[in-house]
Amino acid sequence: MTQELADLRMSILEGRYADALAIVDDLESMGRKGIIRNIKSFLIRMLIHLIKNQIELRMTNSWAASIRDSVIEIQELNLQDNQTSYYIKAEDWQSLLEECLARAISTASVEVREGYYTPFQLKNMVAAPQTMQITQELLNLTYQHSAIDLPDIINEYLTQLPGGADWKSGHS
């Protein structure tokens, strides 16, 4: 990015405004890609813990924290600087969810039941539509609630998942 800024500076100083605008467009694209990459990272982290919850039929405080914190980070990253628009709109998650679920299953195979299942086995065990629906519902909360209210709302949502009631009562 340092080279791009130097090129931008030189283009402006030399009056090559079309070149400068092209560099600005490239910088915007690089920034967007970086944000999407970070969102994907948190999405995969959330999916790993939702997969563990689905397969092991329990919720731990650690898993709940990872899911909750991932959703909160996604909310923060997804909101553009203007505070009114999003990098990923609520209706545009499907392809990203599919991509991230495949990666999450492979990674989760190392963690579910202490690595008992291979990625191939785990892929056949995961109820992908259900996992995608839960993930989409959690993501939808980021469009509907403030950052202040979101943690409590996510916690309450997690009590509806397998083992969530036990987790809520401290018996996980």
pLDDT for residue 3: 78
Q: What's the longest Cα–Cα distance across the chain?
A: 68
Which pTM was predicted? Answer: 0.86
pLDDT for residue 14: 76
pLDDT for residue 8: 66
pLDDT tens by residue, the chain, 172 residues: 677 777 667 767 777 767 667 666 666 767 678 899 999 999 999 999 999 999 999 999 999 999 999 999 999 999 987 777 899 999 999 999 999 999 999 999 999 998 899 999 999 999 999 999 999 999 999 999 999 999 999 999 999 999 999 999 988 6
Residue pair 131/51 in contact (Cβ under 8 Å)? The answer is yes
